[in-house]
A and B are shown apart, each in its own frame.
Chain A
Amino acid sequence: MSSAARPPAFLPNWPARLAWLALAAYALYAASILDITWDRFVLGLENGVRFVGRMLPPDTAADKMALMMRGLYETLEIAVLSSALGILLSLPIGLLAARNLMPAWVTWPMRLLIALCRSFHQVIIAILFVKAVGFGALAGILALTVASIGFIAKLFAEAIEEISLKQVEAIRATGAPFMNVISYGVMPQVLARFIGFATYQFDSNLRNSTMVGIVGAGGIGGTMFAAFQKFDYDYLLTILLAIIAMIMVSEALQNRIKKLYQ
């Protein structure tokens, strides 16, 4: 058996190690910049315990519950309408933005539009719409529609760019018109994913519609913010729990529907 030197079995992965070290160093640096010290944290925890104490038990007075239910219902409306509008608009926009189907002079403006829709947080868009169309649910609906387009159309376009063009080629070879090629060659490959994006976005809209109210765009966010400012922390807890419950129910429903559609 020769004992000649052999290369080591595992080479240390220096780039990865350096990256980990850099991340750790960054964490410490950022914490100091943001003025996050251990003392503040501990103080905060004490505060937190007191805070939680004031939230319990949750307030269930009848008039407050009625107000909350109305707020929740409006939230639901905002979510439903903005999702429907967003989905409807995302279909053509996403198709037009797919680089393997459309020429550059069509895809570039569409992708720019999508990028614009995505870049701004729903709350900022909501503020702008509140200024434009006034307080209330309309601002919320419009804001979340824009957000929906930014999400669904982008992922939809990416999904289309990943399809097998061979299947599309076969349909084109039969002499089918453009819409038939889309309907039989493109859509079957992406429909399942599109539905996934759409349901995810509805879920997201439901969560976000709970908070556009904070800036006046309708829904339970407004009720919640009012409770917060009035130090009505037990009512705040009730609202939070109701929101969580609503979202869980919605998730469960969506799972059933997904199973049905497979």
Chain B
Amino acid sequence: MVLNAAGAESYVLCELAGTTYGLRSDDIEQLEMIGQLTPVPNAPAFVDGVTSVRGRVIPVISLRARFGFERTDHTIRTRLVVVRSDGRTVGLIVDNAREFAAIPAASILPLPDGMAEMSTRYLRGTAHLGERLVFVLDVPELLRTTDAPAQNLSRFLPTMG
């Protein structure tokens, strides 16, 4: 774990539709410019396809689509955050990823009651950095809960009479 002297973990701050999310540096393998994406037929809707990152082919999730925002065109600030968990490597598209921050574990607060639903299991909580509110993401949980149900071949087939 990357800890600073005060025992705070290091986070990468990403922005998505005007909201700031924090991803633990330990979960992140690298940050990349967005390359060519190849769509994968019949993959879940929030999967933008696969891309090649340093000799490996990895699936790419649009975090905007995943969190229910509208997809936007990629800009020079758009980043691919390559995360790693349970032996899987997955790319997450975010609007930008420009800052690092040390967030002490003790300053991460649980989510407000109204938000603590099933759909937000991948949010570990919130933290205040000065005036800014940061949603702290739980990357392993995010990847687990985005697992598509097993695909089946019947999706290839026209409806059988």
Are A and B physically bound partners? no
Name A's B-contacting residues (CB within 8 A): none
Name B's A-contacting residues (CB within 8 A): none
